[in-house]
Amino acid sequence: MNILLVDDNKDFTATLSDLIQSFGYSTTSINHPEEAINFLAINNNNINCILLDIEFGNDVAMNGIDVLEHCRKNYFSIPVVMISGKGTIETAVKATKLGAANFIEKSILTKEKLKEVLESVVKDFAKKEESAEIIKLLESQGIISKSKAMVELGDSIIRYGRTDLNVLVTGETGTGKKLVAQAIHSFSRRNKSSFVTVDIPNIPRELFQSELFGHIKGSFSGASETKKGLFQQANRGTIFLDEIGDLSPELQSNLLIPIEERTVRKVGSIESEEIDVRFISATDKDLIAGIQSGKFREQLFHRLRECGINIPPLRERKDDIPGIINHYVKRHNQEFNEAREISSSAIGYMIDQEWSGNVRELASVVRVVLQTASSDIIEANDISKLISNNINKQSHNISIELNNESVLKPNRTLKEDLAELDKLKIIKTLEMTKGNVSKAAALLDISRETLHNKIRKYEINTQEFRKRS
């Protein structure tokens, strides 16, 4: 580990250098802030930590805070420890806000204190390096993130990928469950073989066995030739059971033998074939609730979920939003040979949105606004107009649905009927927004406070709509 010392006191840097080297670290000493910036421009990849003085001579244009700001902007991964002989609380606070890893005064700088600070920095640096590597690996799989939750998820993807265990991926719609499944496959020993997706909801019930297990010629009407099933196609690779929660209980039993015994039998055949596949499944349904209600087999759940990964919704990791936006801006500019930008205020506006459709919804809005905006600089009002147009379209659908509801009762007063209609429209809107009160208020063209009051008045449980999503 190489530590850069930046201080105009040559005697102090020499003493500090000897102490640091006694801990087993190497050092480089520079006595001028501008020289330090020039040095970092060439050697930043070889520096693991910077010990930086705050005050330099009166004849020097820059001070330590200036160097800190430069480092935070250009070499964010290098931790900076500020050192001062004239330390004040205000200076310490400013340095911390700018991203200094620590702040220590020369008057209390002992060998033990220095060792403690450096060991802490080394530990934090190792964590950041590991996180940066995980973020880089996720990005290579199309997963754009930097939040702590997604770094932890990335660690699970890599660890589970190296095993042959079956993985169940859960998360709301639009969170990227298929991308996670593909990433697990990419980090596995099977990555040179097929990744085969079984799109559960779109397989006709009567063709389910034929599609998955294959069939032999003449086994049923229309079977004009022998066909391999998806299990055989995935042999030595990974089979991805997408939307497994939508599989009917009667068909779920068909998966038990392939998963447990790794054998399948073509429709119309009396012989079983061995398969070597790894199972990854995904769902936005609550399978535990499904087990309790009899809609999902407990046996199948435990076989599919040897490991579990839950993808947090975008509203719980909003620090990922700027990176996702920039990713799609870069992709758009490369594809259309343009130089469009999304302003910081527009990014801030999007961070404030709930995104019930998660990354899929955010990506759709970004793609549309980049292709339809009249200016190369996308502002917050461009995003707002697009979202409002979508809301208006959805609002029209709500009124159509309500026309089919019977809400008038002869034994109620007009006031009671109107209240029932009011309640029903709120319920329908909350169903559409999956319990998102902010979006529901926008659809209904009322304030959030007014909607909250009505929700309390009608005793509507918004959590129920989130559970259904």
419-429 pLDDT, tens digit each: 888 888 899 88
Q: Which CATH class is domain 148-310?
A: alpha beta
- Average pLDDT score over residue span 325-340: 94
Q: For domain 2-128, which architecture applies?
A: 3-Layer(aba) Sandwich (3.40)
Q: Is the pLDDT of residue 263 over 90?
A: yes
Is 0.75 surpassed by the pTM of this model?
A: no
Residue 337: pLDDT band (50, 70, 90) is very high
Q: Is the pLDDT of residue 351 over 60?
A: yes
pLDDT of residue 305: 96
Residues in the chain: 469
Residue 295: pLDDT band (50, 70, 90) is very high
- Average pLDDT score over residue span 198-205: 90
For the stretch 149-182, pLDDT in tens is 899 999 999 999 999 999 999 999 899 999 999 9
Give the CA distances from residue 462 to residues 431, 432, 438, 455, 469, in Å, rounded to whole numbers and listed in that order. 9, 12, 12, 8, 12
- Average pLDDT score over residue span 452-464: 84
pLDDT of residue 394: 55
pLDDT of residue 1: 80
Domain-wise residue ranges, the chain: 2-128, 148-310, 316-389, 405-468
Q: Is the pLDDT of residue 406 over 80?
A: no
316-345 per-residue burial string, b: 16 or more CB within 10 A, e: under 16: ebeebbbebbeebbeebeeeeeeebebeee
Return d(Cα 124, Cα 121) in angstroms, integer: 5
Residue 395: pLDDT band (50, 70, 90) is low
Return d(Cα 194, Cα 277) in angstroms, integer: 10
Q: Is the pLDDT of residue 64 over 80?
A: yes
Residue 400: pLDDT band (50, 70, 90) is very low
Q: Is the pLDDT of residue 399 over 60?
A: no
For the stretch 276-288, pLDDT in tens is 999 999 999 999 9
Q: Is the pLDDT of residue 59 over 80?
A: no
Lowest mean pLDDT among 72-81, 84-93, 94-103, 442-451: 84-93
pLDDT of residue 257: 95
Residue of higher predicted confidence among 246 and 436: 246
Q: Is the pLDDT of residue 327 over 60?
A: yes
What is the CATH code of the structural domain delimited by 405-468?
Answer: 1.10.10
Q: For domain 316-389, which architecture applies?
A: Orthogonal Bundle (1.10)
Q: Transcribe 92-156 into DSSP letters.
A: HHHHHHTT-SEEEEGGG--HHHHHHHHHHHHHHHHHHHHHHHHHHHHHHTT----SHHHHHHHHH
Do the domains at 148-310 and 316-389 have one common CATH topology? no
In 210-315, which ranges are E strands?
214-215, 227-228, 238-242, 263-264, 273-274, 278-283, 307-310
Residue 266: pLDDT band (50, 70, 90) is very high
Q: 195 near 247, Cβ under 8 Å?
A: no
Record the tokens describing residue 361, joined without a space. Answer: 């919804």
pLDDT of residue 341: 94
Radius of gyration of the chain (CA): 30
Q: Is the pLDDT of residue 402 over 50?
A: no
Percent of the chain with pLDDT over 90: 48
Q: CB pairs under 8 A, 24+ apart, for 58-65?
A: 60/8, 60/32, 60/33, 60/34, 61/34, 62/33, 62/34, 62/37, 63/33, 64/6, 64/33, 65/91, 65/94, 65/95, 65/98
Residue 48: pLDDT band (50, 70, 90) is confident
Question: Mean pLDDT over all residues of the chain?
Answer: 87
Q: Is the pLDDT of residue 217 over 70?
A: yes
Give the CA distances from residue 190 to residues 131, 277, 365, in Å, rounded to whole numbers and listed in that order. 25, 9, 35
Q: Is the pLDDT of residue 216 over 80?
A: yes
Helix (H, G, I), strand (E, B) or coil at 401: helix
- Average pLDDT score over residue span 347-354: 89
Q: Is the pLDDT of residue 93 over 80?
A: no
Q: Which amino acid is at 42?
A: I
